[in-house]
Amino acid sequence: MKPAKPVLLIAMLAAAAITASSYAAAATPALAASKVTVDNQAKCSSSAFKIRIERELAGYADVVGIPGISIGIVASDSLVVTASVGYANKAERRAASPDTLYNVASVTKLFTGTLALILSEEGVISLDAPISIYLPKTVRMPVDAAGGEVTIRHLLSHTAGLPKDPPNRRNVDTHGPIDPRVWDTYSVKDLYAALPATTLKGKVGEHFEYSNYGYALLGHVLERAGGAPYESLLRKRVLAPLGMSDTAVRLSPEQAQRLAAFYWSEDPDRLEQEVHARYGEVAAFIGLTSSVRDIAFFVAAHLQRDVEKSNPIPLSVRALMAKPRTEVYADPMFRTEIGVGWFRETRLDNGTVILYHTGEVDGHAAGLYLDPALGIGIVVLQNLGGDAGNQGIDQVGHWLLEAATSEMRNATGCSGLLPTRDMDLKQRPNNSVRKPPSTPRTKRSCL
């Protein structure tokens, strides 16, 4: 869905008492296969800053009705701040923490895009070859009115013309004030049946059309080209090299115990939603679950600027993912474009670039926000879905990114972590720093 531009809010709600909070104090070991490390010592931000972040998050969560929220701030290759407020599960009185697992929803697409470009670098796939060459000959791919064929590059940038969801999507039966569109198990057989019944929306490669369907198809193409199931490919090429042991489609029994309960913003009572998506064979568009502590490895890898350090995600892959391909949205203040996975937001007054992706599904929401030039990244995970959940993620993510940038530019001990550039925060207009968010008022959906 086309993102809507966020609004600079003018006031923060009154801070509520912190329901539950935790800091990560123990260091995470260096990665076995990489020098991209995540250090949890919080060595370049003041304790007062972390207390303020938790206080304001708690106030926001209290007003919006978010049961639990966990955030992380990454500076270069370090996870320097973690904060959690509220409950992973209200009935169990289980506090949210940096190790609480949340469904990251459409943030999964960033991992799928990363995997696709790595396989392209290795010659396993060709970005500009027709998708049809990777599918059985009996499967008919849709073409545009001029006979134009869909390629992997089109799927990566949401420019294939595929609709948001496949025409034969099925939903789980639900009752009560919960998400009425919960994905039921979707198989490869279903995918093959959908393709010939699909009409593309315009000429391939020309227009942005956000598509879960496209990334579902992309994941299957990668499976066929790579000779292994999607999750196995992702673990071998991305997750394991980064040291990400807590990110998965299928959870172990121990991980399932740490999964946050699901709550829906349209339910005023915030009762646990027991029905949530069943991903089946097709999961590359929305299926991953992760924690703040684990997904910080992925953020650190995308932020790394030092070409001398080892990184399982090659610089060429990171550069191509961040490169704008098609404009999505523009107004007098911002221009938003799509790269590979990442949305790229550019401030028109000073050229500041932010990469981001959000997602929301069945009672969880997630967002990643990067300022690549300054080397700062934000992780926001919460167990509230629905419109308010998705809007809240976006506002909290932008606010945290600018608050962290301001704090770390002025804190001691940060100079070795943050790269320098000609135009840093001190040269930005004073009103460029967002104030803490109040209630969600805008919608920018990457579901």
436 neighbors 60 (Cβ within 8 angstroms)? yes
Percent of the chain whose pLDDT exceeds 90: 60
When comparing pLDDT for 442 and 447, which is higher?
A: 447
Most confident of 21-25, 76-80, 261-265, 321-325: 321-325
Give the closest residue to 413 by CA, choosing from 123, 92, 78: 78
What pLDDT, on a 0 to 100 scale, did the predictor assign at position 385? 86
Q: Can you tell me the distance from the alpha carbon of 20 to that of 84, in angstroms, rounded to the nearest whole number? A: 7
361 pLDDT more than 50:
yes
pLDDT of residue 177: 54
Between 414 and 270, the higher pLDDT residue: 270
pLDDT band at residue 209, thresholds of 50, 70 and 90?
very high
Compute the average pLDDT of residues 358-387.
93
Residue type, 140: R
Q: Which two tokens stand for residue 402?
A: 């600018």
Instruction: Output the pLDDT for position 322.
Output: 96
Q: Please give the single-letter amino acid code of residue 289.
A: T
Contacts of 416 (CB under 8 A, 6+ apart): none
Determine the pLDDT at residue 14: 32
Give the separation between CA 70 and CA 87, rounded to whole angstroms: 10
pLDDT of residue 362: 80
Cα separation, 273 vs 129, in Å, equals 42
**Between 76 and 53, where is the model more confident?**
53
pLDDT of residue 389: 80
Coil/strand/helix, residue 407: helix
Secondary structure (DSSP) of 247-292: -BSSPPHHHHHTBPP--BTT-TT----------TT--TTT--EE-H
How distant, in Å, are the alpha carbons of 104, 226, 228, 242 from that of 236?
20, 11, 10, 10
Band the pLDDT of 307: cuts 50, 70, 90: low
Radius of gyration over every alpha carbon of the chain, rounded to an integer in angstroms:
21
Contact 117, 331 (CB under 8 A): no
The Cα–Cα gap between 198 and 168 comes to 10
| Percentage of the chain modeled with pLDDT above 70 | 77
Helix (H, G, I), strand (E, B) or coil at 115: helix
Locate 75 and state its tokens.
């500076």
Query: What pLDDT shows up at residue 180?
Result: 56
Q: What is the dihedral of CA 435, 45, 342, 237, to 10 degrees?
A: -160
Q: Is the pLDDT of residue 3 over 60?
A: no
Rounded to two decimals, the pTM is 0.85
Q: Token pair of 285, please? A: 């568009």
Would you say residue 444 has pLDDT above 50? no
Element (H, E) at 338: strand 334-338
Query: What pLDDT is attached to residue 173?
Result: 65
**DSSP string for 156-189:** HTT-S---SS-TT--B----SSS-S-PBPP--HH
Q: Mean pLDDT throughout 404-419?
A: 65
Q: What average pLDDT does the chain have? A: 81
Q: What's the N-to-C CA distance of the chain in angstroms?
A: 7
Distances (CA, A) of 36 to 27, 33, 110, 310: 14, 9, 18, 7
Structure tokens at 1: 């869905």
pLDDT for position 326: 92
Mean pLDDT across 35-44? 44
For range 19-45, the mean pLDDT: 36
pLDDT tens track for 285-301: 999 999 999 999 999 99
Confidence of residue 1 (pLDDT cuts 50, 70, 90): very low
Give the pLDDT confidence score for residue 432 in this predicted structure: 35
- Each residue's pLDDT tens digit, 162-202: 999 888 877 666 655 555 566 667 789 999 999 999 999 99
Pick from 40-54, 71-85, 159-173, 309-323: least confident: 40-54
Q: What confidence score (pLDDT) does residue 267 get?
A: 82
Q: Domains of the chain (ranges plus CATH)?
A: 47-104+244-432 (3.40.710.10), 112-236 (3.40.710.10)
The Cα–Cα gap between 347 and 218 comes to 31
Between CA 22 and CA 70 the distance in angstroms is 9
**Are the CB atoms for 75 and 417 separated by under 8 Å?**
yes
Task: Please name the residues in contact with 400: beta carbons below 8 A apart, sequence gap of 6 or more.
Answer: 53, 71, 73, 369, 378, 380
- Give the pLDDT of residue 436: 44
Give one word for 255, left, alpha or beta, with left for phi > 0 and alpha for psi -120 to 50: alpha
Higher pLDDT, 241 or 362: 241
